[in-house]
Amino acid sequence: MNIRFGTSGWRAIIAEDFTFANVERVTNAICGYLKRQDDATGQTLIIGHDTRFMGENFAAVAADIARRKGFAVLKCTHPVPTPTVSHAIRSNKAAGAINFTASHNPPEYQGIKFSTSDGAPALPEVTNHIEAAIEANEEPKDADGGSNTDHDPRPGYLEDLNAKVNFDAIAKSKARFAYDAIYGTGRGYLDKILRDHGLEVETIHDWRDVTFGGQAPEPGEDHLEELKTKVIANSLTLGLATDGDADRFGIIDENGEFITPNQLVALLTDYLAESRGWTLGVARSVATSHLVDRVAKERNLTLHETPVGFKFIGELINRDEIILGGEESAGLSIRGHYPEKDGIIACLLAAEAVAVRGTSLTDQLKELYGRVGKLESGRIGVKLTDDIAAKLKELLGREPTEIGGRRIEKINRLDGVKFIFDDGSWMLMRPSGTEPLVRIYAESENSEDLGELLEDGKRYLLD
């Protein structure tokens, strides 16, 4: 079979395509790629896994292969958040990491993410070489000097967070939290660091369940009803959630309102510019709300638009060109952090903003809307069949002047096709890089018009 790395690594269904044989092929290809870059003898390679079925077994196979190829393997001792893997790469000056995770995908999926020596997800120019080596079934020669050592990355990662979040302000506010780990790797990380600072945290779903309660471990509004109930019933400050590998976040405000990723990205951009005095740029993916653009304009920040996939934002983090980079899919990182999305720091910064400003996130959003205006954004998914894939490819080449009676002012083909209309609303169509779907995104100034835009996009794709 052909193995392809999508938006965030290779993902496939366990026992169908994600097999031990294919894990060996991918691991060999990654080791071969690294050995071609430099002499692999003694180079450090991090191996991690999330809480999914057989994660530790797949990781053990990869660790043994890497050891035989001459790498000094640091194998994580427990299911570990993806951002913690990124920190481990940097703190151990590793050549990279192989992380077994399918992030927020349904439980039948497993995946491999390869990160390079800077701690960022591998860019397409790297994964293209790896894919070619997999297809050719290349296997690098064994080498002396390899080793396999257990490694606990948690203490170093949590210590690093202490330098980036104002825990004194959070502790002083005596905020109270609920945390939904969604059976994932954030357990023992987000809740621990808050408790270490004397804060009260109630946890739910903080044990390993490889079925994730029978649904995808995604911290979207439709998965956080229990968290919402706990926040309201116990009059808590915030409800916090992270996905399966803790690189995505979910936030419930004190009134039970779900704070969307689009809203939090814009809000934290505004907060960091204000609280840190940072004056660099801000980055968002092509699918993310233009509310970020409005905040950037008001705060005199340079706006960067990237394709979907945090690796592109990670480049800007590495070059110290932005104060924050975020995606509507709940990925976020900040200046001085790692070039990888981190749901844990996103939750902590939300808590910090509430503590420092002394008002709820809902009230902060109202104040922000009063300054820059309000936008409503959303997305829907259409199953990707062969016919739909062919239709989308044909649509990507069209030059329409209007859709659903709306005049198109500009067409953006940075990633998929994005129609920007003359009233400032927009619609984007692109195939998902993690699931067999075509995503249709849209944004407008009111929810009714947003619904119409999404339906117009669906008709345009299917008719």
Query: Which is nearest to 63 in space by CA: 35, 81, 44?
Result: 44
The secondary element (H helix, E strand) that includes residue 262 is helix 261-276
Question: What mean pLDDT value characterizes the chain?
Answer: 95
pLDDT at position 390, please?
Answer: 84
Percentage above 70 pLDDT, the chain: 98
pLDDT at position 38, please?
Answer: 67
Q: Binning pLDDT at 50, 70 and 90, where does residue 8 land?
A: confident
- What is the token pair recorded at 435? 């699931």
User: How far is the CA of 393 from the CAs of 213, 264, 386, 388, 417, in angstroms?
Assistant: 37, 33, 11, 9, 10
CA distance 359 to 272: 16
Q: Is pLDDT of 435 > 90?
A: no
pLDDT at position 339, please?
Answer: 96
Look up the pTM and report it. 0.94
Domain limits, CATH 3.30.310.50, in the chain:
376-462
Domain limits, CATH 3.40.120.10, in the chain:
10-153, 164-372
The CB density around residue 196, as the number of other CB atoms within 10 Å, is 12
pLDDT at position 461, please?
Answer: 86
Q: Which residue has the tokens 């820059």?
A: 372
Q: Stretch 296-303: mean pLDDT, rounded? A: 98
The secondary element (H helix, E strand) that includes residue 322 is strand 322-327
pLDDT at position 311, please?
Answer: 87
CA distance 200 to 226: 18
The CB density around residue 297, as the number of other CB atoms within 10 Å, is 11
The CB density around residue 259, as the number of other CB atoms within 10 Å, is 22
pLDDT digits (tens, 9 = 90+) for 216-250: 999 999 999 999 999 999 999 999 999 999 999 99
Long-range pairs, 364-369, Cβ under 8 A, ≥24:
364/267, 364/271, 365/259, 365/263, 365/267, 368/266, 368/267, 368/270, 368/295
Can you give 359-406 as a three-state secondary structure string?
A: CCHHHHHHHHHHHHCCCEEEEEEEECCHHHHHHHHHHHCCCCCEECCE
Query: Which is nearest to 253 in space by CA: 345, 377, 365?
Result: 365
Q: Stretch 99-103: mean pLDDT, rounded? A: 96
pLDDT digits (tens, 9 = 90+) for 322-380: 999 999 999 999 999 999 999 999 999 999 999 999 999 999 999 999 999 999 999 99
User: 10-153: what fold?
Assistant: Alpha-D-Glucose-1,6-Bisphosphate; Chain A, domain 3 (3.40.120)
Q: Stretch 278-287: mean pLDDT, rounded? A: 96
pLDDT at position 39, please?
Answer: 57
CATH of segment(s) 164-372: 3.40.120.10
Angle at 424 between CA 420 and CA 428, to 5 degrees: 35
Query: Which is nearest to 190 in space by CA: 180, 198, 337?
Result: 180
For the chain, give me the number of helices (H) and strands (E)?
Answer: 15, 21
Are 335 and 280 contacting, i.e. CB atoms less than 8 angstroms apart? Answer: yes
pLDDT digits (tens, 9 = 90+) for 366-402: 999 999 999 999 999 988 888 888 888 887 788 899 9
User: How far is the CA of 326 from the CAs of 175, 376, 386, in angstroms?
Assistant: 25, 17, 31
Beta strands in 117-171 (DSSP E): 147-151
Percentage above 90 pLDDT, the chain: 87
Are 379 and 287 contacting, i.e. CB atoms less than 8 angstroms apart? Answer: yes
Q: Binning pLDDT at 50, 70 and 90, where does residue 438 land?
A: confident
Q: Can you give the length of the chain in residues?
A: 463
Give the CATH class of 376-462.
alpha beta
